[in-house]
């Protein structure tokens, strides 16, 4: 069993679920990484970001992706996202490869997360 919950109770996950233009997945990943790890990405500078996001590629559809990250609140993520959109106006980069050009998340509040004592008990059983 994992020794750490994926997310903390009462935080929020942003979940982007999108498709890229057919056959453009590898190029999308390269452009996404170039931007994501650059100084232009203000998301990484926010203290409201609890855990850095992860980009996942669907195992059955190579043109479908998910981006998931953990934040303290929807409002804080939305404010940073708005700032990021303003800073990158006219620079389409990886977003230009997304079908329909829409890159907006759904949000989910963490309402259940495995308590530390349960994880510790499980760790003792496996050791």
Q: How far apart are CA 91 and CA 84, in angstroms?
A: 11
> Domain limits at 38?
12-126
Beta-bridged to residue 64, according to DSSP, are 19
In a domain, 1, yes or no: no
pTM exceeding 0.85: yes
The CB density around residue 20, as the number of other CB atoms within 10 Å, is 23
For the sheet with 64-71, list strands across it.
49-57, 64-71, 12-19, 106-109
In a domain, 88, yes or no: yes
**CATH number where 67 lies:** 3.30.70.100
Over its length of 127 residues, how does the chain's per-residue pLDDT go in tens digits?
567 888 999 999 999 999 999 999 999 999 999 999 998 899 988 999 999 999 999 999 999 999 999 999 999 999 999 998 888 877 778 999 999 988 999 999 999 998 888 888 877 777 7
Q: How far apart are CA 61 and CA 68, in angstroms?
A: 18
For residue 88, give the 3-state DSSP assignment: coil
């Amino acid at each position: 069993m994992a020794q750490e919950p994926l997310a903390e109770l009462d935080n929020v996950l942003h979940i982007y679920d999108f498709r890229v233009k057919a056959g453009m997945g590898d190029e999308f990943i390269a452009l996404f990484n170039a931007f994501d790890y650059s100084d232009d990405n203000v998301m990484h500078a926010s203290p409201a970001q609890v855990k850095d996001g992860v980009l996942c590629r669907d195992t059955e559809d190579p043109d479908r992706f998910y981006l998931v990250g953990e934040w303290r609140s929807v409002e804080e993520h939305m404010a940073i996202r708005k700032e990021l959109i303003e800073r990158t106006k006219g620079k389409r980069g990886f977003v230009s490869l997304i079908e329909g050009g829409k890159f907006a998340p759904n949000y989910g509040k963490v309402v259940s997360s495995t308590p530390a004592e349960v994880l510790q008990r499980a760790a003792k059983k496996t050791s």
